[in-house]
Chain A
């Protein structure tokens, strides 16, 4: 779906300039590298110019100063200790998440019962930013790596569960029917069909989780002082050393780039025979933002037909045949009797047991979906009422404080300013992001030059903008808005560029054949076509913005939801802290629901046309 006709057309010399045969491909790769390099140099030059000429701010060091400081820092052992601490935190947190997320994912993917039971719970937990439980975790575990690991688990588990479940659930029902008609046992069906087809989902899910784990580790370090590279940013900032602060933030971005590329490279190796992977390799922006579900679908479809998987399957077939024969012998000897699959099991395939739409069954589904979260709440209510735990006060008290503090006394002084900052920052960031994205996508040369710079900025965690803005602006409201805007700018920018670059070649030909003026082409064809992708970018930005909003209030103010929550924590006002946590969680949830409702309205054409296409 690229705008050019294909690889061949891209190299057609329209102006009639001569080319040199086989050198063309190497030359274009070289040109690409050179233009990337030029983009980095241009960005650095801009920084230098801004710092030395345009903005006279003693706290904004020049690019050269910062890079030379980074160079000298990289010569110290402390720097590498910090890097290894960050990476260790991320890896440990990631590994601890796996035994929680994968079984739940497989369970919710295979069993309709489990899916119903967990559905609302996961949908509620997913949009809640991990920073909300930070005060509690810090209280329990202190500013340690353990604290950061707990936070990572909270971040990684819900999204990984969703991806694993989607992979397992995506198993082709025809394949399952075929397997059933040949009388394969449940175990054989899991091994031969469900696992191979969900493998690419799982691998991609793991890649995303590792990246998220690193980002969360850095977030915990910056915001809560867990040991690692992120903590150094704040140490340098409070020591009044702007050069080192900037140097550490640059180091964070570089670390993010390295991790992203390393993990992507690993994924490419594992799935290198796959078309979408090969295509993505040529476009550095693409793998970052291609709609996850679309990508997983693509990969899944090819995996099922790939020679590689068939070879592996043939190998395991022999082993499985032996196992089956053994099972059959055992069951014949009445030592082991195979149990029939449980009712409602996903493995019985969608076709054999079509979904029951009768109203009692529906009511049962809903009861299950709502009942499980309700039951958990009730359990929390009674457990906390009798536990007399210091950290988990009775839920009734939390709710009383929530109502008392946040509905009445502190609503206008704390909740309203926070929300104002959030919306101002989000609007500013999204608007600038879309504008810059349009420039980068429509001016092709510029866009390709700046790709690596964009990837660098994307790898800087949003909360890292807070210390920088504190240095430049101080503890003020504009600082908070600027931090939120910067953090929400890059997801929107990248999504816009990716969406515009993915404009359908056909739509482009139509607008050329009918001689649309270039701004009408942008307004009526390119931007609407990119809008679903841009909407996903904004959704990401909202999640980041809530985190940065809280992070920007943790220091230098007593107003704001984050400030009040951290104040309550520091004063050991545990119900007050919990009230803040619940409020922030509700805020994250509410914003997400609101945005989704808005998106479904605005992009109705997109969802309904896809629905129409799926029906054909």
Chain B
């Protein structure tokens, strides 16, 4: 795939940017002073009394409009819970999440979610087209739904599968359909919960570039949760590194790479390696700290 920027000359995706221009038209611009998404002293626990289990405590970070933020942390740290709070699916037990300054109390409009398990998040009884149209029903006339669905499918590179069923497609294609469903919803904010964790490595590279291109095309705000540090460094403008139990932000790391990124070039730079090891060191230190009894493998003399 040839990297290109939205301002640059029409590359392979340039015509797509044109065709999806009206997808962007609905997106309002918010003054850059207020962050699009702000997480303020967020806390979440399950159970109560002695059974109470604190998952998140005192977590604070902002996401600016049009920014791509990756949330990275070891598995089981509460990343999915955090995403659930951002999406309005779970109610935080402390603190508040704000979208454009308004507190989120339920799933907000103009926010779409892509889940990790595409086999379960796409309904097996609906064709690809109907899966994509599902959130649009009752909001748009039928012809318009069709049109948006076709545009979204073209955007993710699957123009010919509208009449197929999800289970007739490969895993990577199914996740593309899930992304298309999110795009057809025309979100201002796109939340992705480990979206590439269940696809093979090659498909994963393709999907990562797809998401970068979508961001460049549509300028939407993306928050992506992952446990893969390389993926976070490759995709993000900023990385929120989670650690400790209950989980908090260990650091917020700026990623200085510009818009065109390339799987080979970008990942090959010294800066990439440096960022990667910085984040990894933070996470490993936090995991060790949480388990003081574990001192690594015992080596016989």
Contact = CB atoms under 8 A, between A and B. Distances in A.
A513 interface: yes
A184 to B, nearest CB: 38
Contact of B134 (A506, A512, A516, A531): A516
B112 interface: yes
Contacts of B119: 613
Interface string A491-517: 000000000000010110111111111
B79 to A, nearest CB: 15
B50 A506 contact: no
A142 interface: no
Contacts of B166: 609
Interface string A1-32: 00000001101111000111110100000000
Residue among B50, B111, B124, B165 having the largest count of chain A Cβ atoms under 10 Å? B124
Given A11-B48, A24-B51, A513-B112, 5 more contacts: A21-B49, A507-B120, A509-B115, A509-B121, A512-B89
A314 interface: no
A508 to B, nearest CB: 10
Given A8-B53, A24-B48, A510-B115, A609 B124 contact: yes
Contacts of A337: none
A182 interface: no
20 contacts: A12-B46, A14-B91, A20-B49, A21-B49, A21-B50, A22-B49, A22-B50, A24-B51, A506-B117, A507-B123, A509-B115, A510-B121, A512-B89, A512-B107, A513-B87, A513-B88, A514-B107, A514-B113, A520-B134, A609-B165
B89 A19 contact: no
Contact of A524 (B47, B124, B126): B126
Interface in B141-188: 165-168, 185
Nearest to A25: B51
Nearest to B113: A513
A408 interface: no
A514 B134 contact: yes
A332 interface: no
B125 A606 contact: yes
Interface in A501-543: 504, 506-507, 509-517, 520, 524-525, 528-529, 531
Nearest to B115: A506
Interface of B: 46-51, 53, 84, 87-89, 91, 93, 107, 109, 111-113, 115, 117, 119-121, 123-126, 134-135, 137-138, 165-168, 185
Contact of B49 (A19, A507, A510, A525): A19
A515 B135 contact: yes
Main secondary structure of the interface of A (DSSP, over half): helix
Contacts of A514: 107, 112-113, 134-135, 185
B48 A507 contact: no
A19 to B, nearest CB: 4
A613 B166 CA distance: 11
Contacts of B120: 504, 506-507
Contacts of A14: 91
Interface in A467-513: 504, 506-507, 509-513
Contacts of A55: none
A34 to B, nearest CB: 21
Residue among A512, A513, A515 having the largest count of chain B Cβ atoms under 10 Å? A513
A518 to B, nearest CB: 12
B125 A12 contact: no
A613 B88 CA distance: 31
Given A13-B48, A608-B165, A609-B165, A520 B137 contact: yes
A612 interface: yes
B164 to A, nearest CB: 11
A613 B119 CA distance: 9
Contacts of A11: 46-48
Nearest to B118: A506
A605 B48 contact: no
Contacts of B93: 12
Contact of B167 (A506, A511, A513, A609): A609
Q: 8 tightest CB-CB pairs across the interface, nearest first?
A: A21-B49, A514-B135, A506-B120, A609-B167, A8-B46, A609-B124, A528-B125, A612-B167
Contacts of A9: 46
B89 A513 contact: yes
Interface size class of A (residues with CB under 8 A): 35 or more
A12 B120 CA distance: 25
B135 A507 contact: no
A396 to B, nearest CB: 50
Given A8-B46, A8-B47, A11-B47, A605 B137 contact: no
A510 B113 contact: yes
Interface string A190-219: 000000000000000000000000000000
A514 B190 CA distance: 12
Contacts of B138: 517, 520
B47 A529 contact: no
A322 B131 CA distance: 62
Contacts of B49: 19-22, 24
A525 to B, nearest CB: 6
A513 B134 CA distance: 12
Given A21-B49, A506-B120, A529-B125, A515 B89 contact: no
A99 B107 CA distance: 60
A532 to B, nearest CB: 10
B104 to A, nearest CB: 12
Interface in A397-430: none
A515 B106 CA distance: 9
Contact of B123 (A528, A612, A613): A528
B134 A524 contact: yes
A605 B48 CA distance: 42
Interface in A584-615: 605-606, 608-609, 612-613
Nearest to B47: A8
Nearest to B133: A524
Nearest to B182: A514
Contacts of B123: 507, 524-525, 528-529
Contacts of B117: 506
B125 A605 contact: yes
B148 to A, nearest CB: 14
B112 to A, nearest CB: 7
Contacts of B87: 513
A151 B89 CA distance: 54
Residue among B46, B87, B113, B168 having the largest count of chain A Cβ atoms under 10 Å? B46
Given A19-B49, A514-B134, A516-B134, A506 B121 contact: yes
A506 B84 CA distance: 12
A18 B84 CA distance: 23
A24 B93 CA distance: 18
A59 to B, nearest CB: 46
A22 B48 CA distance: 8
Contacts of A511: 134
Given A11-B47, A21-B49, A524-B123, A608 B167 contact: yes
Residue among A509, A510, A517, A524 having the largest count of chain B Cβ atoms under 10 Å? A510
A20 B47 CA distance: 11
B292 to A, nearest CB: 25
Contacts of A509: 84, 89, 113, 115, 121
B286 to A, nearest CB: 23
Interface in A42-96: none
Contacts of B48: 11, 13, 18-19, 21, 24
Contacts of B135: 514-516
Nearest to B191: A513
A525 B131 CA distance: 10
A287 to B, nearest CB: 24
Contacts of A504: 120
B114 to A, nearest CB: 10
Nearest to B53: A8
A11 to B, nearest CB: 6
Contacts of A512: 89, 107
Nearest to B165: A605
B121 A606 contact: no
